[in-house]
């Protein structure tokens, strides 16, 4: 089955700096890669996603890149703000199953 | 607000008991997914239903069961509860059968087993 690894597990950045979270997946048949943000005690919320026929997608300060050959994808957050502090989960979808990575706890220091 | 509702918000019960968690998907969504999130843990996929039928199964214990009703709401039944079952239980819904569908999460039910 699919396995998703995510690094780093914790990340601290200064406000205004960029943050990068990387994920790798094991099954080359995976074709949909969403990213979720979860604030403390709240529900995971989709922030951006990418499909396997696209290499990069951007939405304001957030971008995701996908390297199908290497089977890894990354989340990039630019000009970080304190409200970006949360746990971020990547996921890979293989057929009907969505497998989540273990999460990255991002802290943005004012 | 994602449009997915879950009840109750909080549930406190004792070991050995049985509880039922309820989820109503977004209007028009046919799939419901259940996840367990223990303290400082990631999201563990339990089970998915699509239009009333079981579609995919994850790491769901035999003590747990679920169903999706004709009105598309779903219930997750947890029995013979153990201390380790204490967790946040999320349901999510999506339009289609899964795969590349975006999942929208409900607010979760926090279960505490004493």
CA distance B111 to A29: 36
8 Å CB contact between B87 and B29:
no
Residue B85: strand, helix, or coil: helix
Asked if B42's CB is within 8 angstroms of A44's CB, the reply is no
Q: Taking residues A7-31, report their average pLDDT.
A: 95
Helix (H) or strand (E) holding B53: strand B53-57
Among A9, A51, A96, the residue to mutate for chain B (most B Cβ within 10 A): A96
Q: How confident is the model at residue B62 (pLDDT cuts 50, 70, 90)?
A: very high
The verdict on a CB contact (< 8 Å) between A96 and B90 is: no
Question: What Cα–Cα distance (Å) separates residue B49 from each residue in A52, A69, B97?
Answer: 25, 32, 8
A50 vs B99 pLDDT, higher one: A50
All residues at 6 or more sequence positions from B24 whose CB lies less than 8 Å from its CB, including other chains: B4, B5, B6, B72, B73
Please give, rounded to a whole number of angstroms, the shortest distance from the CA of B75 to a CA of chain A: 18
- The partner residues of A13 in beta bridges, in order of sequence, read A108
8 Å CB contact of B55 and A100: no
Top residue of A95, A97, A100, A104 to mutate, by most chain B CBs within 10 Å, is A97
- Of chain A, the percentage scoring pLDDT greater than 90 comes to 79
Q: Please give the residue that has the higher pLDDT: either B38 or B98.
A: B38
């Amino acid at each position: 089955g699919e396995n998703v690894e995510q690094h780093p597990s914790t990340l601290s950045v200064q406000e205004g700096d960029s943050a990068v979270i990387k994920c790798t997946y094991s099954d080359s048949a995976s074709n949909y890669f969403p990213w979720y943000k979860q604030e403390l005690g709240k529900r995971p919320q989709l922030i951006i996603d990418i499909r396997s026929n696209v290499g990069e997608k951007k939405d304001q300060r957030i971008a995701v890149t996908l390297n199908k050959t290497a089977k890894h994808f990354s989340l990039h957050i630019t000009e970080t703000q304190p409200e970006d502090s949360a746990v971020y989960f990547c996921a890979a979808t293989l057929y009907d199953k969505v497998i989540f990575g273990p999460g990255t706890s991002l802290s943005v220091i004012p | 607000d994602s449009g997915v509702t879950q009840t109750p918000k909080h549930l406190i019960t004792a070991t050995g008991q049985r509880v039922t968690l309820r989820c109503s998907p977004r209007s028009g969504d046919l799939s419901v997914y259940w996840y367990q999130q223990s303290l400082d843990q990631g999201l563990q996929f339990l089970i998915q239903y699509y239009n009333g039928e079981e579609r995919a199964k994850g790491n769901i214990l035999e003590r747990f069961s679920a169903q999706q009703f004709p009105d598309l709401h779903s219930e997750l039944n947890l029995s013979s509860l153990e201390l380790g079952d204490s967790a946040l239980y999320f349901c999510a819904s999506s339009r289609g059968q899964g795969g590349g569908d975006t999942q929208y999460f409900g607010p979760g039910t926090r279960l505490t087993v004493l």
